Amino acid sequence: MRNRVCEILGVKYPIIQGGLAYVGNGALAAAVSNGGGFGQVGTAGRTPENFKEQVRIAAESTDRPFGANLPISEHSDNTPYIEAILEVKDKLTAISLSAGNPKPLVSLFKEAGLKVMIMTASVKHSLKAQELGADIVICEGFEAGGHDSPLEMTLFSLIPQVSRELQIPAVAAGGIANGQGVVAALALGAEGVQLGTRFVATKECEAHENYKKFLVEAKDDATVVLERSIGRALRVLKSPFAQTILEFEKSRPTVEQLLPYIRGVNNRVAAIEGRVEEGWMNCGQSVGLIDSVESASDVVRNLAREAREIAAALGGLSTLFAD
Ligand SMILES: Cc1cc2nc3c(=O)[nH]c(=O)nc-3n(C[C@H](O)[C@H](O)[C@H](O)COP(=O)(O)O)c2cc1C
């Protein structure tokens, strides 16, 4: 059985690897796709040249579909990234647009032959994405690693409200790291899942070993939310550096005052260079479920196997609610 998300993306399983700033490299995207999911090469934290190089690496490592991610407000000028995406469009199946107004970009990428996925965190924005012509809405709950919506809606409440309004498929993101999460998301009305944090703790991801070690050792209470003082939300691993930012935020800084702490370079030093005392690491609430660093292909296959087993076992549930 293939559902609409499988059909649109041309994949075996409706399991997507989200855009991952700094650490969403080509080898990771290819490994996810080789496992039967849909990998994505990120533009955040990369130069346009490096992005194209990662797309080339991905294309050399898989003959299955994969895509790219463009967080719109991440780059001060999107033009070189849009040009880079269009240059490599023949290697891509879809583009996911997040963190900004996708309106000017949807028709541009659709005319280039790409499927367009728009990330949202509310019913209102999901309906807007549908109206703009998105093929898929990726709806992200507040459990998710990285930037979250300041609306702070959790996935359990968000997905059923979104999916009942939409005609196009909704994909659930945030807090999913095993087969239980996959099946639960589908039970709530999603037609696929997107994972981020789980895919950082994989062999192919270019995150530093120190970051991956943090993820494997972290428990359920290991994340904190930064940037609330400036009306935003960034979920990261609890660490002395993150605690320093939280303390500073108590003084109600302006965006300019907070910027030296939250700029991308502080993510890179920890996530890529492993200097975890000097920067922050994106991380979602499902991190307590991550026990090992595996191949991303195996992560996808294990998610599918667990989902298969859980879905089969749940068949008996109908008797619990018999008339
Ligand atoms: C390390 C990391 C970096 C991320 N960077 C991006 C990004 O550049 N663009 C984007 O749209 N989402 C980004 N996200 C969000 C993910 O694509 C995904 O939606 C989210 O991680 C799902 O929640 P989970 O972390 O609970 O699995 C990032 C998440 C993490 C953990």
Among candidates 41, 89, 105, 45, which has minimal Cα distance to 68? 41
Query: Does the Cβ of 175 fall within 6 Å of ligand 1?
Result: yes
Query: 316 CA to middle of ligand 1, Å?
Result: 35
Report the distance separating Cα 106 and Cα 118, nearest Å: 9
Residue type for 123, please?
V
Model confidence band, residue 77 (pLDDT cutoffs 50, 70, 90):
confident
Can you tell me which atom of ligand 1 is nearest the CA of 235? 31
Average of pLDDT values for 61-77?
93
pLDDT at 75: 77
Q: How far is the CA of 319 from the centre of ligand 1 (A)?
A: 38
71 lines ligand 1 (CB under 6 A): yes
User: Comparing 50-54, 70-74, 125-129, 184-188, which segment has the lowest mean pLDDT?
Assistant: 70-74
Instruction: Give the largest Cα separation in the chain, rounded.
Output: 62
Ligand 1 neighbourhood includes 20 CB (under 6 angstroms): yes
Q: Whose CA is nearest to atom 5 of ligand 1?
A: 20
Ligand 1 centre distance from Cα of residue 148 (Å)? 9
The answer to whether the CB of 267 is under 6 A from ligand 1 is: no
- pLDDT score recorded for residue 262: 92
Residues of the chain with CATH 3.20.20.70: 4-206+292-320
Q: How far is the CA of 284 from the centre of ligand 1 (A)?
A: 8
The residues pairing with 115 across neighbouring beta strands, listed in sequence order, are: 94
Cα(317) to centroid(ligand 1), Å: 33
Q: Which residues contact 194 (CB under 8 A, 6 or more apart)?
A: 16, 17, 18, 138, 140, 171, 172, 173, 176
At 166, give phi and psi (nearest 5°): -90, 150
Best residue among 73, 197, 276, 281 to mutate for probing ligand 1's pocket (most ligand atoms within 8 Å of CB) is 197
Question: Which of 41, 120, 282, 286 has most ligand 1 atoms within 8 Å of CB, for mutation?
Answer: 282
The DSSP secondary-structure symbol of 19 reads P
Task: For residue range 128-184, list pLDDT tens digits in order.
Answer: 999 999 999 999 999 999 999 999 999 999 999 999 999 999 999 999 999 999 999
Ligand 1 centre distance from Cα of residue 173 (Å):
9
| φ/ψ (deg, to 5) at 264 | -55, -35
pLDDT at 73: 86
Strands 223-226 and 233-237: antiparallel
9/315 Cα distance (integer angstroms): 28
pLDDT of residue 315: 85
Say if ligand 1 is within 6 A of residue 44 CB: yes
Q: Please count the other Cβ atoms lying within 10 Å of the Cβ belonging to residue 73.
A: 11
193 Cβ closer than 6 Å to some ligand 1 atom: no
- Spacing, Cα 196 to ligand 1 middle (Å): 5
CATH code of 4-206+292-320, in short, is 3.20.20.70
Residue 174 has a CB neighbour count (10 Å cut-off) of 34
How far is Cα of residue 140 from the mean position of the Cα atoms in its chain?
8
